[in-house]
């Protein structure tokens, strides 16, 4: 049984100009211990899909799906209180802007403690030790002192480490990372990616990496879903995708990488647009 | 042969950091003595992580901030904004494009007005001439003429960055400082903007100082590369020298940290993973 299984997910937003379809019939399957990368440009619906899983979309969104199951149990059929027990504990998420996702008014120790208070039955003393242990596990130096630090006293990379500590506090079975390194420098990005993949390997959790960076995909993923304008273009394991991309959009994305430049100009997605339209016609006879 | 348009010698910039009401003030050395030349029509890429002083360097080159010491010479003329010897022509010679195209355009100004403002302030062109110049520039950066009367919020990030680039070259500068111009953009839009910068460089004989932390972009666009680390230029050479044979430890760390998207390294990673 798959850890997370989603079939035919559609998300629509009510706008002044009528309903806008952000996601149009996408499928995801994540097995335990697997790293799935969802890659696409802004507007491809990659974040919306995972926010729908987490139940974090605003009221203006209408979510429909044939199936949206976590460990075989349909998330939509769960009562709200049940679902809150799963979200944050068994499924956790980290976001793009680490400094914005932490509350500036509370110490990082307090914010970590909140998660443990909500989802575990540990005593105050045990929680305190666990908080320090968690900070240590994500590589924060001098964790006993740093528990009383405020987010503004830490760098972006350290804040992202704290976010990872919060997300992994209850040993989630599935971690969703939404562009976890986009706001960070390359050297820090490398450290955070290593931390995430090490944790994933050690705990055997499922990991969903949402990213627009093909480099990040190449460094972390087992399987890749390529999305464009709310539709799924291609699903393949990482080696196949890079070695032998079958969809023109994937080819376009890969050739837009500056390191793949041949000659003077970079090919852009526009160069592949004609090919993509031809491709769509083939699919719909 | 050697025809440097920009000569920078031993440039330093300190910032005074307030220690609060009772604390002592501290001196932060943001740029600690940087020297380099840039050839006319070439591209110098400045690489480094946040806090290494690359944006401070950009502010000094564009005459926004005065250096603490050292000299900047642009096209043979020494620039010193603390004295009053800066002429309009000298200011026009250098323009800048910022990282965030959402923040660098005035939301209440139409695109036409954005492009005409530099002409209005610096030239004696008539309104009709300014309008023609703005329309011509829109075409050069690949935007249709009907965008002339639109507001910035009606544009995507890539289109806004095109507008910001168009504004910067309205006055035909000799030197264009690009401060992370593509790092806020999607991959395929990034490719379009990089192509545009290439075309404009050829057409207007522009010299670029290209600030970036993305080595794959630098490798594509740069002629020369300078790596900065904590305010110092730790490595400087032609692109091929720096990329094929990095000397400094920090440069090597940077290369090692850059994600690799070739099939060989994916195979290696997967093999290591299944062995573990």
Give the minimum alpha-carbon distance from B264 to chain A in angstroms, rounded to a whole number.
Answer: 9
Q: What percentage of chain A exceeds 70 in pLDDT?
A: 92
Number of domains in chain A: 1
Is A100 inside a domain boundary? no
A187 to chain B: closest CA residue: B257
Q: Which CATH class is domain B41-63+86-275?
A: alpha beta
What's the per-residue H, E or C state across A157-225?
A: HHHHHHHHHHHCCCCCCEEEEECCCCCCCHHHHHHHHHHHHHHHHHHCCEEEEEECCHHHHHHHCCEEE
Q: CA B210, A99, A221, A67 torsion: positive or negative?
A: negative
Contacts of residue B262 in chain A, CB cutoff 8 Å?
A: 218, 242, 259
In this predicted model, what pLDDT tens digit does every residue of B199-255 receive, in sequence order? 999 999 999 999 988 888 898 899 999 999 989 999 999 999 999 999 999 999 888
Tell me the two tokens of residue B62: 């564009």
Give the minimum alpha-carbon distance from A66 to chain B in angstroms, rounded to a whole number.
Answer: 31
A181 to chain B: closest CA residue: B259
Q: Quick one: pLDDT band at residue A264, thresholds 50, 70, 90?
A: low
Look at residue A34 and tell me whether its pLDDT is greater than 50.
Answer: yes
Residues 6+ apart with CB under 8 A from B231: B29, B30, B31, B32, B34, B52, B53
According to DSSP, the residues that pair with A67 across neighbouring strands are A7
- Name the average pLDDT for chain A: 88
Q: Do B270 and A265 touch (CB under 8 A)?
A: no
Contacts of residue A37 in chain B, CB cutoff 8 Å?
A: none
Interface membership of A177 toward B (CB under 8 Å): no
Look at residue A285 and tell me whether its pLDDT is greater than 70.
Answer: no
Is A51 inside a domain boundary? no
DSSP string, B39-93: ETT-EEEEE--TTSSHHHHHHHHTTSS--SEEEEEETTEEE-TTSS---HHHHHT
Contact predicate A56/A138, CB 8 Å:
no
Contacts of residue A265 in chain B, CB cutoff 8 Å?
A: 195, 198
Look at residue A284 and tell me whether its pLDDT is greater than 50.
Answer: no
Identify the domain containing residue A262 by its residue range: 247-285
Q: Please, which residues 266-285 of chain A have a Cβ atom closer than 8 Å to chain B? A: 266-270
Dist CA A247 CA A226 (whole Å): 9
Strands (E), chain A: 4-15, 18-30, 35-39, 61-64, 67-70, 73-74, 91-94, 174-178, 206-211, 223-228, 231-237
Is A17 inside a domain boundary? no
In this predicted model, what pLDDT tens digit does every residue of A41-79 receive, in sequence order? 888 888 899 999 998 888 889 999 999 999 989 988 888
Contacts of residue B269 in chain A, CB cutoff 8 Å?
A: 218-219
Domains of chain B, by residue range, sit at 41-63+86-275
Interface size between A and B, measured as CB pairs under 8 A: 108
Residues 6+ apart with CB under 8 A from B255: B215, B246
In this predicted model, what pLDDT tens digit does every residue of A112-134 receive, in sequence order? 999 999 999 999 999 999 999 99
Q: Do A259 and B216 touch (CB under 8 A)?
A: yes
Q: Which of B50, B189, B263 minimises the CB distance to A185?
A: B50
Is A262 inside a domain boundary? yes
Q: Which of A41, A186, A261 minimises the CB distance to B258?
A: A186
Digits of tens for pLDDT over chain B (276 positions)?
578 999 999 999 998 888 777 778 888 888 999 999 999 999 999 998 877 888 899 999 998 889 999 999 988 888 888 777 778 888 889 999 988 888 889 999 999 999 999 999 988 999 999 999 999 999 999 899 999 999 998 888 889 999 999 999 999 999 999 998 888 788 778 888 999 999 999 999 999 999 988 888 898 899 999 999 989 999 999 999 999 999 999 999 888 888 888 888 888 888 888 776
Q: Quick one: pLDDT band at residue A262, thresholds 50, 70, 90?
A: low
Q: At what angle do helices A124-137 and A156-167 cross, to 10 degrees?
A: 130
Contacts of residue B102 in chain A, CB cutoff 8 Å?
A: none
Q: Please, which residues 17-56 of chain A have a Cβ atom closer than 8 Å to chain B? A: 41-42
Look at residue A274 and tell me whether its pLDDT is greater than 90.
Answer: no
Is A172 inside a domain boundary? no
Find the radius of gyration of the CA atoms of chain A: 20
Q: Do A42 and B186 touch (CB under 8 A)?
A: yes
Interface membership of B268 toward A (CB under 8 Å): no
Q: Which of B276, B228, B214 is nearest to A216 (CA)?
A: B214
According to DSSP, the residues that pair with A64 across neighbouring strands are A10
Interface membership of A257 toward B (CB under 8 Å): yes
Q: Is B6 helix (H, G, I), strand (E, B) or coil?
A: strand
For position A278, what pLDDT does the model report? 59
Q: Quick one: pLDDT band at residue A259, thresholds 50, 70, 90?
A: confident
Tell me the two tokens of residue A160: 């992202």
Give the minimum alpha-carbon distance from A84 to chain B in angstroms, rounded to a whole number.
Answer: 34
Is A43 inside a domain boundary? no
Q: Which of A131, A63, A111, A119 is nearest to A90 (CA)?
A: A119
In this predicted model, what pLDDT tens digit does every residue of A179-223 receive, in sequence order? 888 878 888 888 899 999 999 999 999 999 999 888 899 999 999
- A270: enclosing H helix or E strand: helix A269-283
Give the mean pLDDT of A259-265. 67
Q: In this structure, how many other beta carbons lie within 10 angstroms of the beta carbon of residue A91?
A: 26
Dist CA B137 CA B167 (whole Å): 8
Is A255 inside a domain boundary? yes
B50 to chain A: closest CA residue: A185
In this prediction the ipTM stands at 0.71
Interface membership of B81 toward A (CB under 8 Å): no
For position A283, what pLDDT does the model report? 46
Is A252 inside a domain boundary? yes
Dist CA A213 CA A186 (whole Å): 12
Dist CA B111 CA A88 (whole Å): 45
Dist CA B214 CA A186 (whole Å): 8
């Amino acid at each position: 049984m798959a850890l997370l299984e989603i079939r035919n997910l559609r998300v629509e937003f009510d706008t002044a100009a009528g309903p806008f379809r952000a996601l149009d019939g996408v499928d995801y399957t994540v097995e335990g211990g697997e790293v799935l990368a969802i890659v696409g440009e802004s507007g491809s619906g990659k974040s919306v899909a995972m926010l729908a899983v987490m139940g974090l979309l605003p009221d203006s969104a209408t979510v429909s799906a044939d199936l949206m199951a976590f460990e075989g149990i349909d998330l939509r059929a769960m009562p709200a209180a049940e679902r809150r027990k799963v979200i944050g504990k068994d499924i956790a998420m980290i976001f793009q802007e680490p400094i914005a996702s932490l509350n500036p008014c509370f110490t990082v120790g307090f914010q970590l403690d909140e998660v443990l208070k909500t989802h575990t039955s540990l005593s105050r003393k045990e929680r305190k030790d666990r908080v320090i242990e968690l900070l240590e596990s994500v590589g924060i130096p001098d964790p006993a002192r740093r528990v009383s630090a405020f987010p503004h006293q830490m760098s972006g990379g350290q804040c992202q480490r704290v976010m990872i500590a919060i997300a992994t506090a209850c040993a989630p079975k599935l971690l969703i990372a939404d562009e976890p390194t986009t706001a960070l420098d390359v050297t820090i990005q490398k450290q955070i990616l290593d931390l995430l993949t090490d944790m994933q390997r050690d705990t055997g959790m499922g990991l969903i990496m949402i990213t627009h960076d093909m480099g990040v995909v190449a460094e972390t993923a087992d399987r890749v879903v390529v999305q464009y304008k709310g539709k799924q273009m291609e699903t393949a394991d990482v080696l196949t995708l890079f070695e032998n991309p079958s969809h023109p959009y994937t080819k376009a994305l890969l050739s837009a990488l500056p390191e793949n430049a041949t000659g003077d100009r970079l090919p852009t997605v526009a160069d592949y647009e004609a090919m993509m339209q031809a491709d769509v016609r083939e699919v719909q006879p | 042969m050697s025809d440097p348009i920009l000569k920078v010698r031993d440039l330093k910039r300190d910032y005074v950091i307030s220690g609060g009401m009772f604390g002592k003030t501290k001196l932060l050395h943001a740029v600690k003595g940087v020297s380099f030349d840039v050839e006319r029509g070439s591209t110098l890429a400045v690489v480094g992580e946040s806090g290494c002083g690359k944006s401070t360097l950009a502010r000094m080159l564009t005459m926004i901030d005065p250096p603490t010491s050292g000299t900047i010479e642009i096209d043979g003329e020494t620039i010193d904004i603390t004295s009053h010897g800066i002429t309009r022509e000298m200011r026009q010679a250098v323009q800048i494009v910022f990282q965030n195209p959402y923040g660098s355009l005035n939301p209440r100004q139409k695109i036409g007005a954005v492009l005409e403002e530099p002409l209005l302030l610096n030239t004696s062109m008539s309104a009709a001439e300014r309008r023609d110049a703005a329309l011509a520039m829109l075409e050069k950066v690949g935007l249709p003429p009907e965008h002339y009367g639109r507001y910035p919020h009606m544009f995507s990030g890539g289109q806004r960055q095109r507008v910001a680039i168009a504004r910067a070259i309205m006055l035909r500068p000799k030197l264009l400082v690009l401060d992370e111009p593509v790092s806020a953009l999607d991959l395929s839009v990034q490719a379009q903007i990089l192509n545009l910068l290439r075309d404009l460089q050829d057409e207007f004989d522009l010299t670029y100082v290209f600030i970036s932390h993305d080595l794959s972009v630098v490798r594509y666009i740069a002629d020369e590369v300078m790596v900065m680390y904590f305010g110092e230029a730790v490595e400087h050479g032609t692109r091929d020298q720096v990329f094929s044979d990095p000397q400094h430890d920090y440069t090597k760390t940077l290369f090692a940290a850059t994600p690799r998207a070739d099939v060989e390294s994916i195979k290696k990673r997967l093999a290591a993973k299944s062995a573990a």
